[in-house]
Amino acid sequence: MKYQWILFDADETLFHFDAYQGLKLMFSRFDIDFSRDDFHHYQTVNKPLWDDYQDGKKTAHQVQNIRFQGWAEKLDVSTQTLNSEFLNAMADICSLLPGARELIQALEGRVNMGIITNGFTELQSIRLERTGLKDTFYPLIISEQVGTAKPDVAIFEHAFELMDNPVKEQVLMVGDNPHSDILGGLNAGIDTCWLNRHNQNKPEGIDPHYQVASLTELQQLLTQDLTRG
């Protein structure tokens, strides 16, 4: 069998991450009707922060606080309070992507499965607990804890150490973000699979080893490999 390890991204690879619905739920708890226009304005602040985070120009703490500064002033609460409430709301609406549970069940006991995510610690453990997957993935690598984010090779090297330095040809990285998941995996010297659910154009210079449109298609690809092995 070719792969002994499958490393997954979390958000929009295994789990839905609907930030708008999460923010809408969170702000409803402050009696605020959060609109699409509010979300658009939030994203004009949040998205550049995430880009800087992935490039190592901002810390997780800075992202968590700067993105909520305006709302914190309006509501007279701390930015950290809003960030925690947002992550709690995201946990409350968490769900697996179509095909995720079936994929995990097909692979469990046959390969090692881990997660490398640029998400925040506060959300990950709750979400894995609520979906019944808390004992499924090892290692669980969270950029906030490691201090570096994908696509930085350092976060992959940290994972490899916890995996007892496996043969890289036996490791596959699966993710929906070509700039963090796929480029990061390529830079780390492992095979990659781009989960391209929305039929995006492949970014220039980023060439995944595989490309699938769904987790069901990924399951077929991987189980064929298992059968051949």
- What are the boundaries of each domain within the chain? 5-16+95-228, 19-92
Give kind and range of the element (H or E) at residue 204. none
* SS3 category, 195: strand
pLDDT at 225 over 90: no
Q: What CATH fold (topology level) applies to the domain 5-16+95-228? A: Rossmann fold (3.40.50)
| Cα–Cα distance for residue pair 42/49, rounded to 1 Å | 11
What pLDDT, on a 0 to 100 scale, did the predictor assign at position 173? 98
The pTM of this model reads 0.92
Instruction: Provide the 8-state DSSP code for 227.
Output: H
pLDDT at 229 over 70: no
The amino acid occupying position 56 is G
Please, what is the Cα angle at 120 between 118 and 123, to 5 degrees?
125
Confidence of residue 228 (pLDDT cuts 50, 70, 90): low
What pLDDT, on a 0 to 100 scale, did the predictor assign at position 125? 84
CB 138 within 8 Å of CB 112: yes
pLDDT at 226 over 80: no
- Report, as residue numbers or ranges, the catalytic residues: 9
Q: Domain 19-92 has what CATH class?
A: mainly alpha
| Cα–Cα distance for residue pair 166/7, rounded to 1 Å | 12
What pLDDT, on a 0 to 100 scale, did the predictor assign at position 126? 87
Q: What is the CA radius of gyration of the chain?
A: 18
